[in-house]
Structure 1
């Protein structure tokens, strides 16, 4: 189950069912749950706790030190759930302070060359395509699809079932169920994702009405939110309203009203 060229620190905790490939390195402080597969040249390090059924492909580096100038070598943490896939050369960094942690949920698929920065939190069933980059403290809710070579600025939130088209970049929050196209710009609902998630046509229609009320209305976003509170009451609609109300960075704006909401940063993007 363990290749003779693999190096496993005696202080590491590795379940007896784990398979470890050639030249893999597992440092002290790492705990690997049952039925994981650690491929060739994988490096697991830091105070990293890994659940069951995870697969790490060639060259993945998991739990290394954060890329943060404030970091001073503390034994910070990374926590990984179950049944995740980390393809070739994926990097996931542990937290930058002892108080926080980087978290990867369960059933996520991180494709080759993608990166998750320190203190980021991924939910479940998230897909990061090749070359997707998440800065520190990013929050990604369940069932988000981030396409190839997308960039997500630190401290940004991405709501559930959102989809970022290839090459997009965001420094503002992405509302649930929305599609990102280009810099800090949304262009409608992720209808395919909504169908796959089991939302009915009536639920999708309500979300479409809410999208128009919030992101294509000439009203200020604050006023549109107040009116939406009185008009929409389904769990999916309330999830969008509460997400937008909770923003600190601002919200990506619709292509038809680019720069109208989201603050000065969105206006700067619109002027490029």
Structure 2
């Protein structure tokens, strides 16, 4: 199952049925779970923790040192959950002492040429399309989908079940359950198609839409909208998830699109 032209450090720990193609290098302090396949010319560096039944395609580099000038050689890891696929030439850097790990959940798909910087957390069932670029400390919630060539600013959070259109520059937090598009990146409605595919009822989707109408359409500031939601809307998992996400946002959330709007991060 392991090609003779592969190098595996004696201290690496591999399950018995891992399959590794030629010209791949496995460094020390690496763990790889049962049923995982690793293609040719992959480099898996010190600190990688790869789950069961993963697929890692040619040219990927997992657990390279962070590209962070504050990194001082601390013992950190990359953790990849079961059944996750990592396509060609993906790079995933390990964490720093800020959180000690970079993490990708289970059943996620990281497409070709994507980059996950230090201390990123990508949830379960996520899709990062081709050439997605995550700066350090980015968090992506479960079931989120990022279109191709998205560039995500450091410390940004993307909520669960969100959809971000391809080619987006993501400089603000993207709340859960929504679509985000246009330039500057803006609220474009609920992610109705994705939610239906995942079993959300029409009533739940309409409930989510009603919540976002308060946040984006009622002319309230963010604090007023959150207070209104807590006072006037029934307590549901969706309401509480949205309110908590926005209240804890460090960079502020994306706005509703309006003609002539300018991204304050890149304004002259």
TM bracket (short chain): over 0.9
1:211 is matched with which residue? 212
1:235 is matched with which residue? 237
**Is the Cα–Cα contact under 8 Å of residues 54 and 83 in structure 1 kept in the other structure?**
yes
Over residues 91-150 of structure 1, what are the superposed CA-to-partner deviations in whole Å (9 max), with x where a residue is unaligned?
Answer: 111002275211111000001101111100111000000000111111111000000000
Kindly state the Cα deviation for residue 234 of structure 1 after the two structures are TM-superposed.
1.7
1:63 is matched with which residue? 63
**Is the Cα–Cα contact under 8 Å of residues 80 and 103 in structure 2 kept in the other structure?**
yes
**Is the Cα–Cα contact under 8 Å of residues 188 and 254 in structure 1 kept in the other structure?**
no
Aligned length: 266
**Is the Cα–Cα contact under 8 Å of residues 99 and 119 in structure 2 kept in the other structure?**
no
1:193 is matched with which residue? 194
2:108 is matched with which residue? 108
**Following the alignment from structure 2 to structure 1, what is the Cα–Cα distance between the partners of residues 99 and 160?**
26
The gaps in structure 2 that reach 5 residues or longer are: none
Distance 1:219 1:257, change over 3 A: farther
Distance 1:104 1:175, change over 3 A: same
Give the secondary-structure state (helix, strand or coil) at the position aligned to 1:247. Answer: coil
Query: Which has the higher mean CA deviation after the structures are superposed, 175-184 or 23-32?
Result: 175-184
Over residues 225-260 of structure 1, what are the superposed CA-to-partner deviations in whole Å (9 max), with x where a residue is unaligned?
Answer: 10011222221122111111111111100114986x
Matches within 5 A, 1:11-160: 11-97=11-97, 99-160=99-160
**Is the Cα–Cα contact under 8 Å of residues 216 and 256 in structure 1 kept in the other structure?**
no
2:6 equivalent to 1:6? yes
The gaps in structure 1 that reach 5 residues or longer are: 260-264
Give the secondary-structure state (helix, strand or coil) at the position aligned to 2:63. Answer: strand
Query: Which has the higher mean CA deviation after the structures are superposed, 91-100 or 222-231?
Result: 91-100
**Is the Cα–Cα contact under 8 Å of residues 76 and 98 in structure 1 kept in the other structure?**
no
2:222 equivalent to 1:221? yes
**Is the Cα–Cα contact under 8 Å of residues 95 and 118 in structure 1 kept in the other structure?**
yes
1:262 is matched with which residue? none
1:249 to 247, 251, 254: 251
Kindly state the Cα deviation for residue 183 of structure 1 after the two structures are TM-superposed.
2.9
Distance 1:258 1:26, change over 3 A: farther
**Is the Cα–Cα contact under 8 Å of residues 79 and 102 in structure 1 kept in the other structure?**
yes
**Is the Cα–Cα contact under 8 Å of residues 125 and 144 in structure 1 kept in the other structure?**
yes
Question: How high is the TM-score relative to the length of structure 2?
Answer: 0.95
**Following the alignment from structure 2 to structure 1, what is the Cα–Cα distance between the partners of residues 263 and 176?**
18
Query: Which has the higher mean CA deviation after the structures are superposed, 236-245 or 119-128?
Result: 236-245
**Following the alignment from structure 1 to structure 2, what is the Cα–Cα distance between the partners of residues 257 and 28?**
54
Kindly state the Cα deviation for residue 73 of structure 1 after the two structures are TM-superposed.
2.3
**Is the Cα–Cα contact under 8 Å of residues 98 and 119 in structure 2 kept in the other structure?**
no
Task: Write out the 4+ residue segments of structure 1 that deviate beyond 3 Å after TM superposition.
Answer: 256-259, 265-269
